[in-house]
Amino acid sequence: MRPEAPISFAPGFSRLSRAAKPHLPCERETLCSSLRRHSALRCLLPHLLSAISYLLLCIPAHAARIGDISETSLWNQAFRFFTFQDPAVRYALLGSMLLGISCGLLGSFIVVRKMALVGDALSHAVLPGVALGFLWNMSKDPVAIFAGATLAGLIGTGVVHLLKQTTRLKEDTALGLVLASFFAVGICLLTMIQRLPTGNKSGIDKFLFGQAAAIGPGDVQLMGVVTGLAVVVITLLYKEFLVTSFDAQFARVSGFPVQALHYALMLLLAFAVVIALQAVGVVLVSAMLITPAAAAYLLTDRMHRMLLLAALFGLAAGALGAFLSFLGNNLPTGPFMVLAATAVFGAAFLFGPRHGVIARWWRQRNRSARTQRENTLKAIYHVLEARDFQGEGVSLRELAERRRETLKDVSAQAAALRANGHATLHEDGSQVFLTPDGWQRACAIVRNHRLWELYLTNEARVAADHVHEDAEKIEHVLGEETVRELERRLGNIAHDPHGRRIPDLAEMRRGTGAAVTEKSMGYGQDIQGHS
Amino acid sequence: MNHFIPPFNFHHVFVEPWAQAGGGFAWIALMGFLVATACGLVGNFLILRRMALVGDAISHSVLPGIAIAFLVAKSRSSLAMFVGALAAGVVTTVIIETIHRKTRVKQDAAIGIAFTSLFALGVILISLFASKVDLDQECVLYGEIAFVPLEEMVRVGGVTLGPVSVVRMAVVTLLLAVLVVAFYKELLVSSFDPTLAVSLGINSTVVHYSLMAALSVVVVSAFEAVGAILVVAMLILPGATATLLSQRLPVMLGLTVLHAALSSVLGIHLGVWLNCSLAAAMVVAATVLFMLSWLITSAGRHGFRMVSARTENNNGAETTPLQG
């Protein structure tokens, strides 16, 4: 019989089972509390929007392209960039920041919906649309390219959907298929355009790897409109998007138009991808969707904070990419933006306060050190118990025999106990004495162990010789509430299935060394002294 | 616009490529066939294991490996390229696994982060050292299959075997075919039923990493011909087409080879007609073949469904009075 089977009878137990899978509840909790808190987003985003539109209005209408710049030194370039004298620099920077914001916002939704690779497929699928938009009047007309690319992207996602429904191909295959075949059609069209004898072909090849310097005033206006649209729609439909992203079933039951919201999100996603094409390039747009959002996902459990962080990271990555590409004189912008975003993700991955690798490693180390200490305390208790609690000191040799470890290991553990105030050591270091604090802790652990064994044999009907291993694990994680529930269920019971006494509250208070003569007390409902 | 699609001339499109002196287009067709076959064989197993997008990731992320190998070896030596690409493939797999295991970022996002970063790194290396690595960004995207006939010919004992990259691709394809035949049972079982594979004593980790290694090698040898992104098409399209047409693995593998041959030849004709990138044209031809088989199978299934519905109705009409 599995010992986990009866685990859901009390609130404390469900907390146990949650501890095993820490990822699930945070999303649920995020959902509930964000529903309450999304007013914060509604307050913040309009300010962001107004700042951007202010910047947009202030841009002078005529500007030279960055491409006109002749050879200059790095410092000169950096100086030119930061003084913003050159209007083209302002266009490039502003455009990169705008695309960073819109990609970060929409990327957050595809990351939490586990649709990251849909973004990838979508961004490759827009290429034929770019080429057709260019062919429309043989120029780099932002609106024509925008329309063509959005259309192609939506057709691409539609084909993925159709493939999944009508064939036995799985989603990953369908995505890869659409990605690659649309991209090939796009490359065919692009190479055909490049071989045309007439027409202004400049700039069309920049769509592959991106060139922020090629962003013109028309592009920036379009980007501003799209980013504004994304911010407004996400703010207005925040609750709807949130619920459909985290719990589609609940959303359907509650009467949200799940399909319509999905299509709205796809449309916005296509818009965000298309405005980013000019600066980031077809090949790497998906990174601007995924990476800043994933970095934000590592840093917070609240959706509105994730959106703000992702927009911020996208903005930073965009600006940094534009700057580096400007320094390098016409190096493609996209790869630099992507590496900047990856650097942000790497930082979040390593140093994130809750989900970062270092924080996790630190927590795990603390937990295993605590388990180790508690096992030592338990061993000390066992040694004392074996000689009927006569004498206070436990020699390290006895402890080593009990734990079947070397003397060196045991003295290290004793030192760890002393560092935590659970024990003191004899001057020559051969004996260890528990402090009152350590004694209580030792009793609590032994008590947890034996109560659990008893529970398994009495309530779950597990054979007595099968319960020890399970109790060894659970004794370290049983919470106060669970222990009280165990006491309530088991009633007035003094001995564990192996016939050993379960230490009780009175014994805990009494301290070490006192002889146990009186009859053990019943288990009160109000045991507070441990946990 | 009227210049955009060249007029169709049967002689120019279908006869001239093959009548050309030196057999240039024959080499291109052979190269296309070999690339599509090798990719398709690996791709079939990727599709079965639902790892199609891992193929996508690896094909992007071998780029920095190739670029660094060029910079270090200072030549287009095959060995350096294979080593660099294998290393890059392994690094990608490790990064994906690390992000996926150590954080709560899901696998799809982890794939997206890993391959875009590595690809970006590769593009930056190539554009910074463009003169040294003898590669350009366009080649990275869609390859230079049209230059295959211009390469140096490999001669062994006085017999001309063919251009260097074709010979290399042929060796890789043959090796791959031999491996697929030799380890057919292991691949089959571990792809369809991992639990059974474990009980038969097949080490699925070894199979997985061997497949990834084969993928990296195939991607690298196909890289010069079709570029990093069209490789994805070569990986997925033949296998997906075969998946639609058959449910039996040997038949699927055979169909993959057929699809490769057809798309390579048709692609050349399409590319000659439209005067566009030949590699992209091959992929477009492969896409057209996929769409045809999609239409045929869904039409066939639809027809079958109608027929079976009618028979059920007839049966119902006959049986009801009997029951009554």
pLDDT tens, B171-187?
999 999 999 999 888 88
For the residues A289-300, what does the mean pLDDT come to? 93
Region A234-262: what's the mean pLDDT? 88
d(CA A394, CA A384): 7
Query: Higher pLDDT residue, A99 or B4?
Result: A99
Is the per-residue pLDDT at B280 higher than 60? yes
pLDDT(A184) > 80: yes
Spell out the residues 6+ positions from residue A52 whose beta carbon is closer than 8 angstroms to its own: A98, A101, A224, A227, A228
A74-78, A209-213, A365-369, B146-150: least confidently modelled range: A74-78
Report the alpha-carbon distance of residue A191 to residue B278 in Å, rounded. Answer: 10
How many percent of chain A have pLDDT more than 70? 79
Yes or no, beta carbons of B55 and A176 under 8 Å apart: yes
* Band of residue A315 on the pLDDT scale cut at 50, 70, 90: very high
**What is the distance between the alpha carbons of residues A160 and A170, in angstroms, rounded to a whole number?**
10
CATH architecture for residues A38-57+89-355: Orthogonal Bundle (1.10)
Q: What radius of gyration do chain B's Cα atoms show?
A: 23
ipTM: 0.86
Measured CA to CA, the distance from residue A308 to residue A297 in angstroms comes to 11
pLDDT tens figures, A39-75? 454 555 556 555 555 544 444 333 333 444 445 567 7
B76 vs A130, more confident: A130
A283 within 8 A of A337, measured Cβ to Cβ: no
Task: Give residues 371 to 390 of A whose Cβ lies within 8 Å of B.
Answer: none
Residue B110 has pLDDT above 80, yes or no: yes
Query: What is the mean pLDDT of the segment spanning A372-381?
Result: 89
Band of pLDDT at residue A168, cut at 50, 70 and 90: confident
Which 3 state secondary structure label does DSSP give B289? Answer: helix
For A211, the token pair is 């060139």
Mean pLDDT along residues B136-162: 74
- Would A38-57+89-355 and A359-434 be classified into the same CATH topology? no
Q: Which residue has the higher pLDDT, A270 or A33?
A: A270
Sketch the domain layout of chain A as residue ranges.
Answer: 38-57+89-355, 359-434
Give pLDDT, residue A105. 93
Q: Using a CB–CB cutoff of 8 Å, tell me whether A355 touches chain B.
A: yes
* Global pTM value: 0.76
Question: How many CB atoms lie under 10 A from the CB of residue B206?
Answer: 11
Report the pLDDT value the prediction gives residue B54, as an integer from 0 to 100: 85
Are B104 and A117 in contact (CB < 8 Å)?
no
Contact with chain A for residue B51, Cβ under 8 A: yes
pLDDT bin (cut points 50, 70, 90) of residue A512 is low
All residues of chain A having their beta carbon less than 8 Å from the beta carbon of residue B102 are 349, 357, 360
Contact B113 A342 (CB under 8 A): yes
pLDDT of A510 higher than 80: no
Confidence of residue B36 (pLDDT cuts 50, 70, 90): very high
Please, what is the Cα angle at A366 between A362 and A371, to 5 degrees?
150
Contacts of B244 in chain A (CB under 8 A): 167-169
What pLDDT was estimated at residue A66? 41
**Has residue A273 got a pLDDT over 50?**
yes
Does residue A351 carry a pLDDT above 70? yes
Q: Which fold has domain B23-309?
A: ABC transporter involved in vitamin B12 uptake, BtuC (1.10.3470)
Task: Answer yes or no: do A185 and B280 touch at CB < 8 A.
Answer: yes
User: In this predicted model, what pLDDT tens digit does every residue of B227-256 receive, in sequence order?
Assistant: 877 888 889 999 999 988 888 888 999 999
- CB of A450 within 8 A of CB of A500? yes
Averaging pLDDT over each range in A97-106, B118-127, B195-204, B267-276, which range is the top one?
A97-106
Q: What is the CATH number of domain A359-434?
A: 1.10.10.10
Q: Is the pLDDT of residue B75 over 90?
A: no
Q: Cβ of A287 under 8 Å from any chain B Cβ?
A: yes
Residues of B in contact with A172 (CB under 8 A): 50-53
- DSSP symbol at A495: B
- Cβ-Cβ contacts under 8 Å between A and B: the total is 204
Is the model's pLDDT at A25 over the cut of 50? Answer: no
